[in-house]
């Protein structure tokens, strides 16, 4: 006992105070809020995509490069480095400093004078966000009861869905407001609306940073100081079949999620015939509802599968199946109502898929290796998802019609069909290997 609070050492090799569940609520809410800010800043260039392409003369392919690889190149290296020591670091302070770095870099996007400046700032945003997910999941899952991590993962990742929605809503509203002010006072000398958007949206992050600095640090994981990179590699080599297939399937999930999120505002502009600000805000309203609903659906489904002794790999396969039909409907939709309805369905499905993939990865790695394991997970899925998703759709859209009205929706539908069905099959095939590896990790 320590001050009347028992110390526990669970089956995952964790040494930590076991607080009542309600004491974890502030941590979950705060970390979900930071995840909100992270994904809002990731999505802001997509909000401004039409005007950025016009301002800098960029094609869909070049825009896909900015939205995907320019972020993920630095992100994957930073994530792998963070994973090696995140479980023994002061995790709240690590997240706080990361937040400060990427917020300044996001604001710097508004100062860009060339396309190269945009790419450089985007790289720093990726580097700044690298430690967030491994550190946050290390905190949240350190106290997770057996079979109960799915909902906590969903609570954390719902911040990502809300962040995408918040960026679309706030970014679209700010663009509309600044454009209206510029129209009312044409002689007013002020930065372009898209520049002001990047400046102002970085300000609320400072409040989150202050809150993070004030959080009491959780105790480190037992044995975290003894973990070497070789431990993780030896575990991965022994269970390479289950881990390899699961990472492939998870990468497919994030590829589709990032492709949809990156091109949603442009899709509403082209297919629905809306103005840039209107398209961003309508997409934001849809994601605000569909995103969290899909995340909690995926997390709850994985928890239920584990409690009933069934392999979550089966559930992951099933939630992949509706993605292609929903994407086909989105590609064929015309007008705001049809586009919004099809977009809602696809966002709901992909939200469930993304969380189901992440939640069902956690049991595949022993608790003492969770920080390193999650770092590898996020580095891998981000490399494939962000690195290939947005540019693949952009390049295919260019080839179909040089960014014409119907080309973007068709490109998204083709990419979704080509990825979702093989991923579902792989996950179903992996169910026995998943169960074997999860049992060994207990």
Average pLDDT over residues 240-262: 93
Residue-wise burial string across 184-200, b where 16 or more C-beta atoms lie within 10 A, e elsewhere:
eeeeeeeeebbbbbbbe
Integer-rounded Cα radius of gyration of the chain? 21
Q: Find out whether 143 and 18 touch, Cβ atoms under 8 Å.
A: yes
Q: Where are the alpha helices (DSSP H) in 239-275?
A: 240-271
At residue 12, the pLDDT reads 40
At residue 149, the pLDDT reads 56
Scanning the structure block, which residue is given the tokens 């996020």? 378
Q: Find out whether 336 and 411 touch, Cβ atoms under 8 Å.
A: no
- Torsion angle of alpha carbons 58, 60, 64, 70, nearest 10°? -10
CA–CA separation, 376 and 110 (whole Å): 32
CA–CA separation, 18 and 9 (whole Å): 10
Q: Which residues contact 310 (CB under 8 A, 6 or more apart)?
A: none
> What does each C-alpha distance from 11 to 14, 37, 146, 207 come to in angstroms?
7, 34, 9, 37
Q: What is the pTM of this model?
A: 0.72
- Expressed in percent and rounded to 5, the helix, strand and coil fractions of the chain are 80, 0, 20
At residue 168, the pLDDT reads 79
pLDDT in tens, 336-368: 899 999 999 999 999 999 989 988 898 898 877
CA–CA separation, 107 and 98 (whole Å): 14
Q: Which residues contact 414 (CB under 8 A, 6 or more apart)?
A: 331, 396
What domains appear along the chain, each with residue ranges and CATH number? 24-214+229-441 (1.20.1250.20)
The yes-or-no verdict on residue 24 having pLDDT over 90 is no
Considering 179-193, 228-242, 408-422, the range whose residues carry the highest mean pLDDT is 408-422
Query: 5 - beta bridge partners?
Result: 2
Give, rounded to a whole angstrom, the gap between the first and last alpha carbons of the chain: 25
Across 312-367, the runs of DSSP E, i.e. the strands, are: none
Average pLDDT over residues 289-316: 84
CA–CA separation, 274 and 266 (whole Å): 9
| Reported confidence tier of residue 166, pLDDT bands at 50, 70, 90 | confident
Of 15, 10, 7, nearest to 88 (Cα)? Answer: 15
125: left (phi over 0), alpha (psi -120 to 50) or beta: alpha
DSSP H helix total and E strand total for the chain: 19, 2
Tokens, residue 21: 């569940």
- Give the containing element (helix H, strand E) for 16: strand 15-17
- Give the containing element (helix H, strand E) for 17: strand 15-17
Tokens, residue 278: 């209107």
| Reported confidence tier of residue 322, pLDDT bands at 50, 70, 90 | very high
Q: Which residues contact 428 (CB under 8 A, 6 or more apart)?
A: 313, 314, 317
Average pLDDT over residues 56-80: 87
CA–CA separation, 154 and 295 (whole Å): 5
Tokens, residue 95: 């997240």
Residue 57 burial (CB count, 10 A)? 9
* Residue 193 CA neighbour count, 13 Å, CB half: 22
The yes-or-no verdict on residue 161 having pLDDT over 90 is no
| Reported confidence tier of residue 175, pLDDT bands at 50, 70, 90 | confident
Residue 182 burial (CB count, 10 A)? 15
Q: Find out whether 335 and 273 touch, Cβ atoms under 8 Å.
A: yes
Tokens, residue 232: 């993780």
């Amino acid at each position: 006992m320590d001050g009347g609070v028992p110390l526990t050492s669970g089956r995952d090799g964790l040494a930590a105070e076991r607080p009542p569940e309600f004491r974890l609520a502030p941590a979950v809410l705060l970390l979900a809020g930071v995840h909100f800010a992270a994904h809002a800043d990731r999505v802001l260039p997509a909000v401004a995509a039409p005007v950025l392409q016009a301002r800098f003369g960029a094609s869909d392919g070049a825009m896909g490069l900015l939205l995907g690889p320019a972020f993920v190149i630095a992100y994957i290296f930073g994530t792998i480095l963070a994973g090696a020591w995140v479980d023994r670091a002061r995790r709240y302070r690590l997240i706080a400093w990361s937040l400060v770095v990427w917020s300044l870099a996001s604001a710097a996007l508004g100062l860009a004078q060339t396309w190269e400046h945009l790419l450089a700032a985007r790289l720093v945003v990726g580097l700044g966000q690298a430690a967030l997910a491994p550190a946050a999941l290390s905190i949240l899952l350190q106290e997770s009861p057996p079979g109960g991590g799915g909902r906590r993962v969903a609570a954390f990742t719902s911040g990502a869905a809300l962040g995408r929605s918040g960026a679309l809503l706030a970014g679209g509203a700010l663009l509309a407001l600044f454009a209206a002010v510029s129209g009312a006072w044409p002689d007013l000398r002020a930065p372009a609306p898209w520049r002001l958007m990047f400046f102002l949206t970085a300000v609320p992050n400072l409040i989150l940073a202050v809150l993070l600095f004030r959080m009491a640090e959780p105790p480190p994981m037992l044995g975290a100081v003894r973990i070497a990179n070789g431990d993780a590699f030896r575990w991965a080599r022994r269970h390479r079949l289950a881990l390899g297939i699961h990472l492939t399937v998870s990468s497919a999930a994030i590829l589709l999620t990032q492709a949809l999120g990156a091109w949603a505002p442009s899709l509403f502009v082209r297919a629905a015939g809306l103005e840039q600000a209107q398209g961003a805000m309508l997409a934001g309203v849809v994601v605000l509802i569909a995103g969290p609903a899909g995340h909690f659906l995926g997390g709850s489904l994985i928890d239920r599968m584990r409690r009933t002794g069934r392999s979550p790999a089966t559930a992951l396969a099933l939630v992949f199946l509706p993605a292609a039909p929903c994407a086909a409907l989105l590609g064929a939709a015309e007008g705001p109502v049809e586009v919004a309805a099809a977009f809602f369905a696809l966002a709901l499905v992909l939200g469930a898929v993304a969380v189901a993939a992440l939640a069902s990865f956690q049991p595949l790695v022993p608790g003492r290796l969770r920080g390193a394991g999650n770092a590898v997970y996020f580095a891998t899925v981000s490399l494939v998802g962000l690195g290939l998703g947005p540019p693949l759709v952009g390049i295919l859209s260019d080839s179909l019609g040089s960014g014409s009205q119907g080309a973007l929706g068709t490109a998204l539908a083709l990419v979704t069909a080509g990825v979702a069905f093989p991923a579902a099959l792989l996950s179903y095939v992996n169910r026995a290997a998943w169960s074997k590896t999860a049992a060994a990790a207990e």
